[in-house]
Amino acid sequence: MLEYLLRLGDNTLVLSQRLGEWCGHGPVLEQDIALTNIALDLLGQTRMYLTYAAEVEGKSRSEDDLAYFRDAPQFRNCLLVERPNGDFGQTLVRQFFFDVFNFYQLQDLRHSTDQRLADIAEKALKEVTYHLRFSSEWVIRLGDGTELSRQKMQSAVDTLWPFTGELTTPDALDLEMAEQGIAPDLLKTKTLWEKKVAEVLKEATLTLPTNTWMQSGGKQGKHSEHLGFMLAEMQHIQRTYPGNIW
């Protein structure tokens, strides 16, 4: 159970940190604020997941300890969310791919046999429903926009596609959690994810990649160099001045 909670919390934590990097750098003020608000939503979800994870672990660690005092190999996020922001289009495509997955994941988690997790999912789904609408609309707007915007969005789709398979490919832990009724059946989630992604990309006049080779390993702690650099920045203050509070 601990490992599964870390996967949930690490996904939202890492993506929240990535989106936070856009603060003050968005293409227009409204979207700058929107990305920051989504980052805050994801951070709130992270706190619920990691607080629960710390309780399950039973080692007197807090949500902050799990966020700031683990090294990259101890993180269990999927590789997609640790990808660098790139341009605005790449950020939106990364967000869209994860939002579709997170939306269907949370829909199922509301019916988890673990009531604490079900309650978290019920609350988080309201926020993620907005996240998905935001990212979908922007993928469509830019994909079906100018020739330049379409080229950039297609490039983002092609670049990030190999990192999407890990989202819905179950490993031994996913299968165990699903069998216990705690987590969703990722094979069913995959069908829903593929259908929604195909619909939005078609409306955006973007081509669905045919590449079937997928990156993997993030859920088992095998990460790219990008996560290490990101954590160095995110964890710097806590590790330099441990135990300090505002």
| Residue-level pLDDT at 46 | 98
pLDDT for 166 beyond 70: yes
Does 246 fall in a domain? no
Does 55 fall in a domain? yes
In this structure, what is the dihedral angle of CA atoms 167, 168, 174, 178, given to the nearest 10 degrees?
A: 130
Does 40 fall in a domain? yes
Does 132 fall in a domain? yes
Does 190 fall in a domain? yes
CA 2 to chain centre: 18
How many domains is the chain partitioned into structurally? 1
Does 181 fall in a domain? yes
Assign residue 226 the CATH number of its domain: 1.20.1260.10
Domain that includes residue 142, residue range: 2-207+215-240
DSSP class per residue in 175-207 = HHHHHTTSS--HHHHHHHHHHHHHHHHHHTTPP
Does 176 fall in a domain? yes
* Interval 65-115: pLDDT, tens: 999 999 999 999 999 999 999 999 999 999 999 999 999 999 999 999 999
